[in-house]
Amino acid sequence: MVFVDGVRTPFGKAGPKGMYAETRADDMVVKVIRELLRRQPQLPPERIDEVAIAATTQIGDQGLTIGRNAALLAGLPKSVPGFAIDRMCAGAMTAVTTTASGIGFGGYDIAVAGGVEHMGSHPMGEGADPNPRFVSDNLVDSSALVMGSTAENLHDRYPKLTKQRTDAYAALSQQRYQAAAEAGKIAADLVPVATRSGEAGWGLATGDEPPRPGTTAESLEGLKTPFRPHGRVTPGNSAGLNDGATGCLIADEHSARELGLPVGMRMVGYAFAGVEPEVMGVGPVPATEKALKRAGLSIDDIGLFEINEAFAVQVLAFLDHFGIPEDDERVNPWGGAIACGHPLASSGVRLMTQLSRHFAERPDVRYGITTMCIGFGMGGTVIWENPHHDETAGGAK
């Protein structure tokens, strides 16, 4: 299975003052699907076999089988089916791995996969009714239901993961994103979205809203710790609450070559793993170990890492486990979710799209991974191969 191309909307800040406050979630998905087809005019829409769209909170304009709804709204032929999928933060990642498995089995040739989250309209957990037995039967600690509290738990478990380190990592993410944006790297992935406001009228979203240029570790020191008094997790070393959508085209390689579609990267394998829900941020560690073992690879074979930055502490837990320096240039070269935002179910495809762009610039790298922690105690990792790899280029693997 090959990753053809990926795009996303600019990510916005959730809430009444955010740029998408009065924009529908399904309309953001429509923009993404249409942009994928605009960028690949050689793809007949009727050749798309499936549209898989993830959302964590599947109600309102994110409900009613959003994959099918968005396909129809985007103008795809009525013969093209679609479905909705949920694995919390890894929704889009799971949309890709699920449809990729269908391609591997021979059920699909070409699919659209992605995700959306409008956290301003639908906060995480809206309408959910967790079974009281989770806590009353001591199945999980009550902190497992609050993602920021699980990040504080990670600090407790690994004392070497200090607030000073997480603030320094968060500042680095902002700085790398700013450098990439100024170099024109970020804009290439974005599709502009028309926005409306009862007060300001119509507008056009062309860039991410969450980044904070000029951030330093020192500027993050005094921020409040909302999840625990005198804690370590702050709005500065965490991803924010965001709105946005992502999407990608995936295909079997024969169909891609037949239609003249670009091959951005090849899927080598993937794995999901469960961990204690109270420390869900450590999930990428066993997921990556599982994926590497299945692929017959080691962490030393990986030349690029796109790690979702839900919280800086979970990124550092991953890097420490594998002995990777926290300022390693292979890790999130263009910054990450702490800077650009994390609209839950959409983020997996953002990671993939950026890794595909890195591969195009780095023929010296053969393998890369996209990995993320997942709410309620999981992790997911996908291993990718660079089709542009040139062993004579030297440098990383």
Residue 328 pLDDT? 98
**Active-site choice (118, 342, 358, 389):** 342
Examine residue 391 and state whether it is found in any structural domain, yes or no: no
Active site residue 89: yes
Token pair listed for 48: 């798309």
Helix (H, G, I), strand (E, B) or coil at 253: helix
- Note whether 253 and 1 are within 8 A (CB): yes
Average pLDDT, the chain: 97
**Active-site choice (89, 118, 122, 389):** 89
Same domain flag for 323 and 361: yes
Examine residue 377 and state whether it is found in any structural domain, yes or no: yes
DSSP collapsed to 3 states, 23-37: CCHHHHHHHHHHHHH
pTM value > 0.75: yes
Domain around 30? 2-121+240-265
**Active-site choice (122, 155, 373, 389):** 373
Examine residue 217 and state whether it is found in any structural domain, yes or no: no
Q: Which of 230, 265, 300 is the last residue of a domain?
A: 265
Q: Which of 265, 299, 315 is the last residue of a domain?
A: 265
Residue 3 pLDDT? 98
Q: How many Cβ atoms from other residues are within 10 Å of residue 198's Cβ?
A: 7
Active site residue 248: no
Rounded mean pLDDT, 252-269: 98
pLDDT single digits (tens) 353-368: 999 999 999 999 999 9
Number of domains in the chain: 2
Same domain flag for 37 and 173: no
User: How would residue 396 be classed by pLDDT, with cut points 50, 70 and 90?
Assistant: low
- CA dist 158 and 154 (Å) reads 6
Same domain flag for 247 and 376: no
Q: How many Cβ atoms from other residues are within 10 Å of residue 194's Cβ?
A: 11
- CA dist 264 and 314 (Å) reads 28
Helix (H, G, I), strand (E, B) or coil at 322: helix
**CATH number of the domain that 259 lies in?**
3.40.47.10
